[in-house]
């Protein structure tokens, strides 16, 4: 009886999220857009049915942690190294141009450098899952453009995490040189140790049994995921950086595909709490003034144009149409942008107002990119619908996540 109200809230969030995802699918939108909009509807701006609580916050944090673990799981170092120059430069320019553009846009808002850098961080991510879903639905996964987009999106995630490390270290440091160096040293030590020791641990673990018993790879992966998330937080980084690293480490595990499959039901259950709560924390009143609405439009335009220019420029050698496809494919910020905004809000680096704008910007880029990508793809001649090579990004989306 004591937990009745908690269970009711869980039911409302879970069922609401999946209804939203189903509605989004019918409207040919990514599921994540449906879940976020259901959150806006259930949140304080509209119905006011759900409020942030310790329980919802924790479920949402675990959801984001496992989600970033899965994103990491899809980013094996080997694949990153094999994409060649084109994928890398599409990724690098697709990160640098939006970062600089966003920084220039907000640097005169009077809120300090930490605020500017965190906001700029939210502009750099690319949601590989959403684009992969559209490419899959259009049977375009075999195209060179698709391969470049998917590889670049994965590199983008790694770069976004690295930049987030830098920005949080900067934010933790103060004015004095020593206070600036210490957080960097801590974060650097954490990253170095993880990258140096992690693969050895994972390699040792890969000799253990299968199944999902007490010491199975799945359980070990979750322990490492939670462990690195906690350690990342302790060294001043975002928990999601640790979870992402844990995923990357397990990407080379012989049973990584099996682990990824076993994580899916957890994502299905937990990520709705993250997306619905994120939507619920968007305060629509914060964009009710004409200035704020205008600022949102400017954010969206900068987010779209900077990716088109950055990634498109890097892909120019493939011709204008291919460059356009790649540029548009990199536009959706999706869950990664939203997660970075959440971690910036938790770190106290941005205001509620900034948060609402950044989440809405992420939602809008995620809504507008897929139809544009579809139109562009329809002009490209190609063979029969192909299967997704690694299968995994679409699996994440089919779990109602992206």
Q: Which residues bind a copy of itself (CB under 8 A)?
A: 1-4, 6-8, 10-11, 14-15, 18-19, 21-22, 25, 31, 34, 53-55, 57-59, 61-62, 65, 211-215, 218-219, 222-223, 226-227, 229-230, 233-234, 239, 262-266, 268-269, 346-347, 398-400
Q: Which is nearer to a copy of itself, 283 or 397 (CB)?
A: 397
Q: Pick the closer one to a copy of itself by CB: 287 or 341.
A: 341
For the beta carbon of residue 218, count every other beta carbon within 10 angstroms: 21
- Nearest distance in Å: CB 176, a copy of itself: 21
230 vs 316, beta carbon nearer a copy of itself = 230
In angstroms, give the least distance from the CB of 150 to a copy of itself.
Answer: 21
Separation between Cα atoms, residue 202 and residue 247, nearest integer Å? 11
Query: Do 400 and 272 touch, CB atoms closer than 8 A?
Result: yes
Taking only Cα atoms into account, the Rg of the chain, rounded to an integer number of angstroms, comes to 20
Alpha helix (H) ranges present in 27-143? 31-42, 54-73, 77-82, 84-106, 113-122, 128-137
Q: What span, in angstroms and rounded, lies between the C-alpha atoms of 210 and 259?
A: 10
- In whole angstroms, the minimum distance from the beta carbon of 232 to a copy of itself comes to 10
Closer to a copy of itself by Cβ: residue 19 or 195: 19
Q: How far is the CB of 261 from a copy of itself (least distance, A)?
A: 9
- Gap between the Cα atoms of 152 and 161, Å rounded: 14
CB contact set of 295 (below 8 Å; sequence gap of 6+) = 287, 357
Looking at beta carbons only, is 123 or 218 nearer to a copy of itself?
A: 218
Residue 34 vs 247, nearer CB to a copy of itself: 34
Phi, psi at 159, each rounded to 5°: -65, -40
Per this entry, what is the length of the chain?
A: 402
Nearest approach, Cβ of residue 98 and a copy of itself (Å) = 26
Closest distance of CB 397 from a copy of itself, Å: 9
Tokens of 83: 């994409």
Smallest separation, CB 384 to a copy of itself (Å) = 22
Other beta carbons within 10 angstroms of residue 51's beta carbon come to 13
Please, what is the end-to-end C-alpha distance for the chain in angstroms?
A: 35
Cα distance between residue 227 and residue 247, in whole Å: 12
Residue 306 CB, shortest distance to a copy of itself, in Å, is 29
Q: Where are the beta strands (DSSP E) in 125-229?
A: none
Between residues 7 and 81, which has the closer beta carbon with respect to a copy of itself? 7
Nearer CB in complex with a copy of itself: 16/94: 16
């Amino acid at each position: 009886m004591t937990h009745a109200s908690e269970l009711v809230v869980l039911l409302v969030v879970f069922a609401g999220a999946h209804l939203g995802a189903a509605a989004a699918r019918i409207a040919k939108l990514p599921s994540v857009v449906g879940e976020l909009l259901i959150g806006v509807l259930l949140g304080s701006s509209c119905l006011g049915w759900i409020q942030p609580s310790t329980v919802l916050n924790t479920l949402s944090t675990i959801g984001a942690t496992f989600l970033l673990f899965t994103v990491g799981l899809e980013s094996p170092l080997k694949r990153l190294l094999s994409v060649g120059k084109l994928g890398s430069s599409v990724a690098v320019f697709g990160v640098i141009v939006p970062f600089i553009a966003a920084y220039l846009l907000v640097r005169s808002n009077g809120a300090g450098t930490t605020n500017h850098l965190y906001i700029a961080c939210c502009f750099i991510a690319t949601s590989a899952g959403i684009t992969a879903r559209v490419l899959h639905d259009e049977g375009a996964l075999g195209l060179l453009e698709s391969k470049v987009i998917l590889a670049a999106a994965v590199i983008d995630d790694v770069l976004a995490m690295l930049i987030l490390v830098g920005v949080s270290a900067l934010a933790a440091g103060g004015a004095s040189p020593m206070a600036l160096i210490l957080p960097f040293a801590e974060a650097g030590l954490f990253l170095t140790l993880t990258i140096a020791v992690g693969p050895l641990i994972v390699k040792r673990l890969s000799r253990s049994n299968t199944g999902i018993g007490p010491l199975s790879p799945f359980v070990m992966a979750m322990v490492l995921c939670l462990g690195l998330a906690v350690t990342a937080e302790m060294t001043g980084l975002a928990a999601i950086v640790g979870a992402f690293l844990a995923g990357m480490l397990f990407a080379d595990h012989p049973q990584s595909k099996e682990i990824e499959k076993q994580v899916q039901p957890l994502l299905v259950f937990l990520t709705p709490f993250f997306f619905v709560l994120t939507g619920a924390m968007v305060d629509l009143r914060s964009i009710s003034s004409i200035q704020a609405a205008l600022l949102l439009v400017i954010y969206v335009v900068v987010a779209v144009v900077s990716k088109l220019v950055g990634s498109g420029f890097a892909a120019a050698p493939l011709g204008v149409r291919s460059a356009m496809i790649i540029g548009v494919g990199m536009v959706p910020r999706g869950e990664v942008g939203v997660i970075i905004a959440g971690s910036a809000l938790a770190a106290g680096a941005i205001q509620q107002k900034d948060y609402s704008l950044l989440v809405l910007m992420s939602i809008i880029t995620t809504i507008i990119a897929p139809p544009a990508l579809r139109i562009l793809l329809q002009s490209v001649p190609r063979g029969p619908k192909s299967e997704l090579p690694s299968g995994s990004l679409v699996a994440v989306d089919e779990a109602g996540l992206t």
